[in-house]
Amino acid sequence: MTEEQNYSTPPLTPEQLAEIREKERQQKQTMAIVIAIVVVLVALLGVAIYFLLQPATPTDKIRDIFIIVVALETLVIGVALIVLVIQLASLINLLQNEVRPILQATSETVNTLRGTAEFLGENVVEPVIKLNGYLAGLKRMLELLGIKPK
């Protein structure tokens, strides 16, 4: 690589920490509101079902209520699909713009290491192995001549 990349993040200032905490608090507050709305809707649905199951309730009212419930479910599913498509687009963007360059850099590094290993194998390891072979042969020859090497 011709240019070193620094991926470490600098320490956060107190203002940045306060901003992050504020965002987290807002997210928790929003989540609590959403959960409360869902609980209220489920409770209302339960109460509606209770009153619809009374023997005096006409069938056409039950039908109308369930048509409304199905329409609301369709609306919720539509919103969920829109969120899913947005998240999928975000994932594709992440893969194209961040993961692909990382994989390319990794591939380049592996190729460099492969070349280095081949170079070391040819220029360092192979001569050392040959020298050890020659020394072992010399040692054996000296042993056969009756000279005991240390």
Give tens-digit pLDDT for 64-111.
Answer: 888 988 998 899 999 999 999 999 999 999 888 888 888 889 999 999
* pTM value surpassing 0.85: no
For residue 150, give both structure tokens: 């240390």
21 within a domain of the structure (yes/no): yes
Q: Please give the tally of structural domains in the chain.
A: 1
Helices (H), the chain: 14-52, 59-94, 100-120, 126-144
Task: Count CB atoms within 10 A of the CB of residue 125.
Answer: 11
Return contacts of 102-109, CB within 8 angstroms, 24+ apart. 105/1, 108/1, 109/1
Is 29 within a domain? yes
Cβ–Cβ < 8 Å for 128, 121: no
pLDDT digit string, tens, across residues 99-131: 888 888 999 999 999 999 888 888 888 888 989
Cβ atoms within 10 A of the Cβ of 45, count?
13
- Is 150 a domain residue? no
In a domain, 47, yes or no: yes
Question: What range does the domain containing 38 cover?
Answer: 14-57
Instruction: Report if residue 33 sits inside a domain.
Output: yes
Is 36 inside a domain boundary? yes
